[in-house]
Chains A and B, each alone.
Chain A
Amino acid sequence: MANKVLVETTLNGETVEFLCEPRQSLLEVLRDVLGFTGAKEGCLTGDCGACSVIMDGRVACACLVLGPEVQGKKIETVEGMAKDGENLHPLQQKFLEHAALQCGICTPGFLVAAKALLDRNPKPTEHEVRFALAGNLCRCTGYDKIVHAVMDAAAVMQGR
């Protein structure tokens, strides 16, 4: 395809370069160009949060970001959450312990949105967790287990 642009960005701490058409979303770039399939395609309208990624410290729907927009930005995806790809992030560990997932398609988005919350607000109230995750939809588990997992992870990360 003609009209491709070269983009340089930081993905989970590593500099990456990619070529994309302007009409390709960050979600398409992550999944189809870079092979990072953690972010999921859900609604493509910014309603479900399955494609959540962190961009320069703020969570966003990758389906509503154009590939060229991430030039010079820092992107974090669920793939970057486990240290060295092995040691699970406390959020991931607590999602397992609380059985905060069933089919799992919403899980990367929830993990990323929850990480973005805890990065800014390490001791959120349950109310704050529920509002922070209002942009992520889960159609099987129900939200209680997810909220409890996030609260528990926050406590662990605070050494409580």
Chain B
Amino acid sequence: MRAFTYESPRSLDQALGLFATAGEKARALVGGTDLLIQMRAGVRQPDVVIDVKGIPELQILSFDPQSGLRLGAAVPSCRITEDKMMQDKYPGLTEAAGLIGSVQIKNRCSVGGNLCNGSPAADTTPALIALDATCVIAGAKGTRTVKAEEFVLSPGRTVLQPGEILVEFRIPAPKPHSSDCYQRFIPRNEMDIAVVGVGAAVTLNGDTCTAARIGLGAVAATPLLAKAASESLVGKPLTEQAIAAAAALAQQLATPITDMRGTAEYRQHMVGVLTRRVLNEAAKRTKKK
């Protein structure tokens, strides 16, 4: 690994000073589960590694019935999966956080890191998209917000500009009779990267769907919001037919590639399968509350 300077700021202001000074030569470190591997491989070669885990704002995990969830970008997956409120209110995001790697990895990795790594296959990103998450970004000039589905620009590249840092996610409080779900396909039980991942959040009024959002992972250059598929469900009962129609729209949006994890055709097929499954499961969960 190439030599670099290590910084561990204790406040957001201090961190922003360090990021402003180092500019594009800086890289934020949370769990290191992607970054250190990339640095060893020479894929990323920062001159300054800024460990952001000690910044209080990035460790926030709090829920308010009006304003919803605040999830700090550096909160480790293990804290999410063990959190009762997260399990109850955001089961889809919680299961996505629980699917990343081994116990060793989950103890270190974060939803913020998962997103900033910029992988189209990040498990938590479709779940964030389904929940209509807003990313709060801080920089020298102040704070700005970006929707989760707009954060990744291309594999490994995000909207973060030199000097900026992802601070937290804001996610609306779940409405009555709403829930979310994330599922991925991998050819084994654990410890793999999604061949396809789909997240969905639905709100029901009786049997009628009043809101839906579907997020897709590993089927395009970036994680996607399946807008047409989501909107097709609104105002309709979530019948098998309506769900199949939404799944078909989601498939139309997917532009997967063929790689060692699966062929494009297979991924295209699995988008439909998983979209149906997560919609059914999310709908089922709305009735448990």
Do the two shown chains form a genuine complex with each other?
Answer: yes
Chain A residues whose CB sits within 8 angstroms of the CB of B190 once the complex forms: 131, 134
Min CB–CB distance B88 → chain A (angstroms): 21
Name A's B-contacting residues (CB within 8 A). 3, 5, 21-23, 25, 44-47, 49, 52, 55, 58-61, 63-66, 68-69, 71, 113, 116-117, 131-132, 134-136
Give the B interface residue count (CB, 8 A): 28
CB distance from B218 to the nearest CB of A (A): 19
In the complex, chain B residues whose CB is within 8 Å of the CB of A46: 33, 37, 101-102, 104-105
Chain A interface, DSSP helix/strand/loop, else mixed? mixed
Which residue of B5, B37, B103 contacts A113 across the interface (Cβ within 8 Å)? B103
Our pick among A22, A44, A131, A134 for the contact of B49 (Cβ within 8 Å) is A22
CB atoms of A66 and B37 under 8 A apart:
no
B191 close to chain A: CB less than 8 A: yes
Q: Is B36 an interface residue (CB 8 A)?
A: yes
A-B contact pairs, 15 of them (CB 8 A): A46-B37, A55-B107, A59-B107, A60-B108, A61-B105, A64-B36, A64-B37, A66-B36, A66-B51, A68-B6, A69-B32, A69-B51, A71-B8, A134-B103, A135-B191
Determine whether the beta carbon of B4 is less than 8 Å from that of A22.
Answer: yes
Q: By the criterion CB–CB under 8 Å, are B5 and A22 in contact?
A: yes
Interface residues of B in 97-127 (CB under 8 A from A): 101-105, 107-108
Known: A23-B1, A135-B102. A60 touches B107 (CB 8 A): yes
Interface residues of B (CB under 8 A from A): 1-6, 8, 29, 31-33, 36-37, 39-40, 49, 51, 78, 101-105, 107-108, 189-191
Residues of B within 8 A of A23 (CB): 1-4, 39
**A96 vs B174: C-alpha distance when bound (angstroms):** 51
Known A66-B29, A68-B8: A60·B104 in contact at CB below 8 Å? yes
- The residues of B that contact A21 with a CB separation of less than 8 Å are 3
Report the separation of the CA atoms of residues A91 and B258 in the bound assembly, to the nearest whole angstrom: 44
Known: A25-B36, A135-B101. A64 touches B3 (CB 8 A): no
- By the criterion CB–CB under 8 Å, are A66 and B32 in contact? yes
Residue of A at shortest CB range from B190? A134
A45 close to B37 (CB less than 8 A): yes
Give the distance in Å from the alpha carbon of A140 to the alpha carbon of B176 in the complex.
52
Q: Chain B contacts of A113 at CB under 8 A?
A: 103-104
- With A46-B33, A46-B37, A134-B191 in contact, do A59 and B103 touch (Cβ < 8 Å)? yes
A5 and chain B: residue at smallest CB distance: B6
Chain A residues near B6 (CB-CB < 8 A): 5, 22, 66, 68
Q: Ordered nearest first, which 3 A-B pairs have the shortest CB separation?
A: A135-B102, A22-B6, A58-B107
Contacts of B3 in A (CB 8 A): 3, 21-23
Q: How far is the CA of A135 from the CA of B109 in the complex (A)?
A: 14
**Chain B contacts for A64, CB-based, 8 A:** 31-33, 36-37, 108
Contacts A5-B6, A22-B49, A66-B6; A132 near B40 (Cβ below 8 A): no
